[in-house]
Structure 1
Amino acid sequence: MFSNLKQQPADKILALIQAFREDPRENKIDLGVGVYKNAQGQTPIMRAVKAAERKLWEEETTKTYVTLAGDAAFSDTMISLVLGDAVARDRVAAVATPGGTGAVRQAFELVQMANPDARVFVSDPTWPNHLSILKHLGIETVTYRYFDTETCGVDFGAMMADLDQVKAGDLVLLHGCCHNPTGANLNLMQWQQVVDLLNAKGAVPMIDIAYQGFGDGLDKDAAATRLVAANCPEALIAASCSKNFGIYRERTGLLMAVAQEKGLHGVMQGNLAYLSRQNYSFPPDHGGKLVSIVLSDDVLRADWQVELEEVRQGMLALREQLADELRRLSGSDRFGFLAQHRGMFSRLGASPDKVERLRAEHGIYMVGDSRMNIAGLNSRTVPVLAQAIIDVGI
């Protein structure tokens, strides 16, 4: 039987990580891996998370299963963090998932159950795993134009023209903030136009929000998701705690299903629990417990928000430093978009051959489509990257 299996294509980002590790050059720079790093190149445990772990260690009395939906306190605190008061709690069904990826996978499976003929519209580009999961599930995927390689911003006219092709029952996948891989985001006026279009067409929005707090702050980063949830009859939201709580290996995520129609909550909750049972039965709890402890404790929450804001401001400072350095070296403002992008990533708009030259000639690693992780930089390496970008003619 196993002889019928075919070798699967290697994950490009994982292959890039391995190539970086094997590179003997001391001054190499890793801008490929999608993990936050501080100026020392470390992914630290946040102070509030460490304190929550101590508290949990002292107070936890059992390791028995939680419910199929996970700990209710985790769902409640996360729904409050992401949605605020945009939607009544009894209109939101939710389940804990193994990371944001688990939430994305389960959302797609829920759509497949509800409407086997649904198409999923995804931005071009998007996070590669979106496409991989959809392909694996056999769901028809349609791309909509998003990134303008000339301006390195959102091509909103083209995006809306492509979304005009959606039909009732289709799903439209949108990034809540800090678009991965481009760093280019819609403004709230544009979000409202997207909402109006989807409502007119009868399509359902799905928000993947993995970087809340990394862009313009916790509430501003959630504003688009809250707008969608409050103004659409139905919506799906996949939230990740990996980045803003720094608990990558704990695999902590939440899938929310919003249905404004009264009486649907129980059906939605039951179907989400059913999918949990089919996929992994009971969700992991440790990370969710840490998140709920932090968000429920005024002191810990305040400290978490201070540290998260330090992370955000640090990335903004790196963006501004890089844009300024490139302005000085190039004599133009053509890299000014780097200071306008938000989140961990930006897409330079460079060709694959120039990305390869950055690796071969300068030891600078980024994904082949020129997505780079801003958090992989520090104040010392920014000038090195800027000079390399000029040297290879980007």
Structure 2
Amino acid sequence: MFDRLQDQPADKILALMQAFKADPREDKIDLGVGVYRNAEGVTPVMRAVKEAERRLVETQETKAYTGLAGDPAFADAMIGLILGETVARDRIAAIATPGGTGACRQGFELARLANPDATVWCSDPTWPNHLSILKFMGMPTRTYRYFDEATALVDFDGMIADLEGVASGDIVLLHGCCHNPTGANLTDEQVGRVIAILTERGAVPMIDLAYQGFGDGLEADAAATRAIASAMPECLIAASCSKNFGVYRERTGLLMAISADASDTPTTQGNLNFLNRQTYSFPPDHGARVVTMILTDPDLRADWEAELEEVRSSMLDLRDQLAGELARLTNSDRYAFIARHRGMFSRLGLPSEVVERIRADHGVYMVGDSRMNIAGLNSETVPKLAQAIVAAEKA
């Protein structure tokens, strides 16, 4: 039967990673893969994570399965981090998942169980795996305008016009902060208008929150999610710990499903447990337990928050440096938006042929739509990137 299989389309980012590895140039720069790197090009294990793991190894007495939903303490800790006190706990069902990707997949699965006819609306552009998963699942999708290539900011008028077409019961997928791949975020006022139109249309928001703490800080980055979750009767939230805790390979995520009434929560929780059982039975626990220890221990949490703030500040400094360098080289404010974007990514608005020249001539690797990972830079490589962009545009 395997002779009937067909080749699947290659993942563009993974293909870019392979091309980067094969490039013999010593001064090459990888701005493609979506992981945080420090100035030395290393994705470090955070101090609090190391300490929590040390304590866990010393005190853990079993590797037996957790429950189908994962450790309840993990759910409680993450709900507190993301939602604070904005939503009553008895309205929230939650499951631990293998990373934020697993949370997204289970969120789509729950939506399909609840409403097989639901269309999932995604921003244009969005994280490519959103659309890939939805296509594989056979769920109907539509897009709403989000990014204005000319200004490199949110095309909010286009977004609102498109969301007027959302039907009751449809799922509208939103990025909680640090929009991937553009780096362009909604303002608080714009979030309020989105809430109003989703309420009017009877749609259900699903929030992908993968970068809390990477934009404007832990509390500020949760503001949009909290506003939406507290205002809407129902909401899905897929959260990842990969970036803000640096536990990429531990695959640590959480899916929350907020019901309109607490009386619906047990059934919602039962369906979430069922989905975990059908997909991978019990979720991974090591990363979830480490995260729980950090969030519930005052000293570990303080150290984690301090290091996360160092990470966030370093990316903001790189944004300011790159925007300034490009302003100097072009004698214009064309690239000022880089300093306004938030998170690891920015989409530069460069044509694919310019992106290819930057790679071929200067060894700088970014995705073909000109999405770059700002954390792939350091203070010494920023000038090289700026010079490469200007040279490639003139060629």
**Match of 1:277?**
277
**Match of 1:154?**
154
Matched, 1:125 2:125: yes
C-alpha distance in structure 2 between counterparts of 1:70 and 1:196, whole Å = 34
Q: How many residues align?
A: 394
For residue 260 of structure 1, report the CA deviation from its aligned partner. Answer: 2.6
Matched, 1:30 2:30: yes
**Match of 2:287?**
287
Instruction: Within 5 Å, give how 1:160-175 maps onto structure 2.
Output: 160-175=160-175
C-alpha distance in structure 1 between counterparts of 2:262 and 2:34, whole Å = 40
1:238-258 deviations in whole A, cap 9, x for unaligned? Answer: 000000000000000000001
**Match of 1:102?**
102
C-alpha distance in structure 2 between counterparts of 1:20 and 1:73, whole Å = 41
**Match of 2:78?**
78
Q: Which amino acid aligns with 1:191?
A: V
1:308-348 deviations in whole A, cap 9, x for unaligned? Answer: 00000000000000000000010001100000000000000
**Match of 2:317?**
317
C-alpha distance in structure 2 between counterparts of 1:98 and 1:199, whole Å = 31
C-alpha distance in structure 1 between counterparts of 2:153 and 2:288, whole Å = 35
For residue 382 of structure 1, report the CA deviation from its aligned partner. Answer: 0.2
Q: Which amino acid aligns with 2:138?
A: G
For residue 259 of structure 1, report the CA deviation from its aligned partner. Answer: 1.1
**Match of 1:41?**
41
Q: Which amino acid aligns with 1:225?
A: T
C-alpha distance in structure 1 between counterparts of 2:163 and 2:355, whole Å = 31
TM-score by length of 1: 1.00
- Output the aligned Cα RMSD: 0.6
1:259-290 deviations in whole A, cap 9, x for unaligned? Answer: 13130110110000000000000000000000
C-alpha distance in structure 2 between counterparts of 1:217 and 1:87, whole Å = 21
Instruction: Within 5 Å, give how 1:57-76 maps onto structure 2.
Output: 57-76=57-76
For residue 66 of structure 1, report the CA deviation from its aligned partner. Answer: 0.2
Q: Which amino acid aligns with 1:272?
A: L
Matched, 1:390 2:378: no
C-alpha distance in structure 2 between counterparts of 1:62 and 1:173, whole Å = 38
Instruction: Within 5 Å, give how 1:254-269 maps onto structure 2.
Output: 254-269=254-269
**Match of 1:222?**
222
C-alpha distance in structure 2 between counterparts of 1:261 and 1:188, whole Å = 26
**Match of 2:342?**
342
C-alpha distance in structure 2 between counterparts of 1:310 and 1:281, whole Å = 37
C-alpha distance in structure 2 between counterparts of 1:262 and 1:210, whole Å = 27
Residue segments in structure 2 that go unaligned for 5+ positions in a row: none
SS of 1:224's partner is helix
Matched, 1:377 2:372: no
TM-score by length of 2: 0.99
C-alpha distance in structure 2 between counterparts of 1:35 and 1:48, whole Å = 19
For residue 351 of structure 1, report the CA deviation from its aligned partner. Answer: 0.7
Q: Which amino acid aligns with 1:121?
A: W
Instruction: Within 5 Å, give how 1:330-369 maps onto structure 2.
Output: 330-369=330-369
Q: Which amino acid aligns with 2:188?
A: L
For residue 2 of structure 1, report the CA deviation from its aligned partner. Answer: 1.3
SS of 2:44's partner is coil
**Match of 1:56?**
56
C-alpha distance in structure 1 between counterparts of 2:113 and 2:308, whole Å = 37
For residue 4 of structure 1, report the CA deviation from its aligned partner. Answer: 1.4
For residue 185 of structure 1, report the CA deviation from its aligned partner. Answer: 0.3
Q: Which amino acid aligns with 2:380?
A: R
Matched, 1:4 2:4: yes
SS of 2:263's partner is coil
Q: Runs of 4 or more off by more than 6 Å in structure 1?
A: none
For residue 192 of structure 1, report the CA deviation from its aligned partner. Answer: 0.7
For residue 151 of structure 1, report the CA deviation from its aligned partner. Answer: 0.2
Q: Which amino acid aligns with 1:209?
A: L
C-alpha distance in structure 1 between counterparts of 2:47 and 2:134, whole Å = 37
1:51-77 deviations in whole A, cap 9, x for unaligned? Answer: 000010111000000000000110000
Q: Which amino acid aligns with 1:153?
A: L
C-alpha distance in structure 1 between counterparts of 2:198 and 2:259, whole Å = 15
**Match of 2:211?**
211
C-alpha distance in structure 2 between counterparts of 1:376 and 1:85, whole Å = 36
Q: Which amino acid aligns with 1:5?
A: L
Q: Which amino acid aligns with 2:213?
A: G
C-alpha distance in structure 2 between counterparts of 1:112 and 1:349, whole Å = 35
For residue 31 of structure 1, report the CA deviation from its aligned partner. Answer: 0.2
Q: Which amino acid aligns with 2:386?
A: A
C-alpha distance in structure 1 between counterparts of 2:20 and 2:262, whole Å = 53
C-alpha distance in structure 1 between counterparts of 2:32 and 2:53, whole Å = 30
SS of 1:34's partner is coil
SS of 2:262's partner is coil
**Match of 1:298?**
298
1:210-259 deviations in whole A, cap 9, x for unaligned? Answer: 00000000000000000011000000000000000000000000000011
Q: Which amino acid aligns with 1:227?
A: A
C-alpha distance in structure 2 between counterparts of 1:197 and 1:208, whole Å = 19
**Match of 2:111?**
111
C-alpha distance in structure 2 between counterparts of 1:227 and 1:308, whole Å = 23
1:79-109 deviations in whole A, cap 9, x for unaligned? Answer: 0000011101111100000000000000001
